[in-house]
Structure 1
């Protein structure tokens, strides 16, 4: 492997391993409440109450174990009326990431609110081998279908989940009424140059993770690294359907806080994505880290409510 350049070393210092490859949550920081907005355009098991110690649900959530392609996935459903909101967390996180927002969102909208553990996280079974985004899309689609939720879904996707959202929307546009993409990993970022920079900078963390491969976060990091380059070369060509409105919320600091060049590329990717199609809005969460749902929960709630209200 070639030696790491000063630029790559700066990326390594700026990011955790999962932020490099999985583009997951960063360190929670205190932030101001000011926002800026630009570009605003026109088969399931029997359900049971979620246990008190288990994860991202409201007090009314029910746990459904969904079977798909030989593994089981945990979906947490807080029943409501009318629209459905699905909260999808970033790399290395399970459904508990949304525990502070799910109940508030249900109370504010009256919607059915769903969180879930992706394969290998929380109560969901691990799947061996390299992480495949299309498998994650299949898991989400199967879960929603088995729950009888096949239209009118607002998808809220943070970080790495933006990749799942993009392919899900591309393949299943009629299931979605809209999406809120929260500092999401978006196709325009992944030029050959940026893929190479991120992949090279992540190698020390990936190698370290192999010392404890059974830890869920390490297991996910290793599996993502195995498929990272070809998967993101393909992702760069993915497109978002023009029929699905999207609000893109980008953090000011981005997951590349500490690497100004890469942080700028992240922000530019969000702006490019918004310009590529109709009914897309770009909002900058000023002062926020990549961890916008923790830093700026009021902003996230507001934008989800606005998307739901606009589409129903």
Structure 2
């Protein structure tokens, strides 16, 4: 009990310390303000670049654990027009709000805050292009880069850009906004960055899932996967890591992998004695992350969606009785779920238990009057 109490006090005071060292501020970058959130520490700062359409808040869940081990400065920010960052009122043309302007704004903000020297870069998705351009401009300052399923510079060829043009209605996006300027300049950004590579002097860790964008057209998802797999070909400075079981937002699906990879990248900036101290903290952190991951797994193991998918596995294998038992259990455990009743009704219908199926579909529609598919199935059954 004493050990637990002591550990609780350590965590409590660490949390207080992080809170007291956090700077959440708007920085004037030339007549307009950009939002930066900084956990102040000692050592090489780590800058986090969010994906397209996202702001700094996407990183909140992993920052504290990284800081607890590294004690270094962590910087997140909202790009112009996202989150609480303002747009430059002096720019007149849509093209003025391109990625080069975004880097200039970032440079200005970092300089005003005093973080314009050595730095580690971390990015997700579209943010990878910002890391790439920043690394090109400041290759002597960037110590390393961690890419999290990042957009690679050669991904958007002209065929895919044409496909995107046919599926993105820019006129429907609110103007002025960061989202609008990202989309209106998208093609030019991709052509501007095409085939640009990270300098060989900068170590790059490229983390990507086995099947990113699995729901997208095959021409897109296959190319994304192929280019990531080939990203470290003939490059001594690039390490590929496949995040099995994760989707595009790996830092949400497998935070332990991302946290420990960033800690690893940071450790390379330290001398041997400092690395030994960091190693013990990192091991403790890895144990805690492992316990948390197992706890989350157990909490979700018998979730509604988990049970539903389990039942459908039996249904696809024509093991109807097992499927029915699990579908029924799901309606008992989650009596307010229209989807649980809908799925149970579907299985009952496949088992030729029509009267019971009708009852389940009626309950599903009662819980969700907008279940149009269920209404169609129910109508068809009653007409037969």
Name the one with the larger strand percent: 1
**TM-score over 0.5 for the pair:** yes
Check conservation: 1:77, 1:112, Cα contact below 8 A. Answer: yes
In the alignment, which residue of structure 2 is the partner of 1:137? 103
Q: Does 1:289 align with 2:255?
A: no
In structure 2, the residue corresponding to 1:173 is in which secondary structure?
A: coil
The answer on whether the counterparts of 1:162 and 1:181 sit within 8 Å (CA) in structure 2 is yes
Measure how far apart 1:201 and its partner are. Answer: 2.2
- Asked if the contact 2:231–2:240 (Cα under 8 Å) also holds between the matched residues in 1, the reply is no
Per the alignment, residue 202 of structure 1 pairs with: 168
Unaligned runs of 5+ in 1: 1-57
The equivalent residue for 1:303 is 261
Equivalent residues of 1:180, 1:249 under 8 A apart: yes
For residue 287 of structure 1, report the CA deviation from its aligned partner.
1.9
CA distance in 1 between counterparts of 2:122 and 2:161 reads 25
The answer as to whether partners of 2:87 and 2:178 remain within 8 angstroms in 1 is no
Distance 1:136 1:61 in 2: 24
Q: Distance in 1 between matches of 2:135 and 2:254?
A: 26
Q: Do structure 1's residue 76 and structure 2's residue 37 form an aligned pair?
A: yes
Q: Please, which of 4, 13, 23 is the counterpart of residue 62 of structure 1?
A: 23
Q: Counterpart of 2:223? A: 265
**Secondary structure at the counterpart of residue 74 of structure 1:** strand
Deviation at 1:276, TM superposition (A): 5.5
CA 1:253–1:220 in 2, change beyond 3 Å: closer, same or farther? farther
Q: How many residues align?
A: 247
Give the deviation of 1:170 after TM superposition: 0.6
Shift of 1:254: 1.7
Q: List, as ranges, runs of 4+ consecutive aligned residues in structure 1 with deviation greater than 4 Å.
A: none
Cα pair 1:256 1:262 within 8 Å, conserved: no
Match of 1:252 in 2: 210
Instruction: Look up the match of 2:145.
Output: 179
Aligned twin of 2:238: 280
The residue aligned with 2:83 is 122
Cα pair distance change 1:256/1:146, threshold 3 Å: farther
**Contact 2:29 / 2:108 at 8 angstroms: preserved in 1?**
yes
| Aligned partner of residue 111 in structure 1, secondary structure | coil
Q: Which has the larger radius of gyration?
A: 2
> Larger deviation: 100-109 or 272-281?
272-281
TM-score normalised by structure 1 residue count: 0.73
Q: Runs of 5+ in structure 2 lacking a partner?
A: 1-17, 271-384
Please state how far the C-alpha of 1:177 moved relative to its aligned partner: 0.5
What's the offset of the Cα at 1:243?
A: 1.1
Mean Cα deviation higher: 131-140 or 158-167: 131-140
Q: Give the equivalent residue in structure 2 for 1:108.
A: 69
Supply the distance in 2 between the matched residues of 1:148 and 1:115 (Cα, whole angstroms).
14
Does the 8 A contact of 1:151 with 1:177 survive in 2? Answer: no
Counterpart of 1:166 (choices 120, 132, 140) is 132
Equivalent residue, structure 1, for 2:157: 191
Give how far 1:92 is off: 1.4
Q: Give 3-state SS (helix, strand or coil) of 2:231's partner.
A: helix
Kindly provide the CA deviation profile for residues 169-197 of structure 1, in whole angstroms up to 9, marking residues without a partner as x.
Answer: 01111221001011111112122222222
3-state secondary structure, aligned to 1:311: coil
SS at match of 1:274: coil
Deviation at 1:223?
1.5
Is the contact between residue 76 and residue 115 of structure 1 (CA under 8 Å) also seen in structure 2?
Answer: yes
Equivalent-residue separation in structure 2 for 1:247 and 1:288 (angstroms): 17
- Counting helix residues as a fraction of each chain, which structure ranks higher? 2
Give the secondary structure class of the aligned counterpart of 1:201: coil
SS in 1 for 2:34: strand
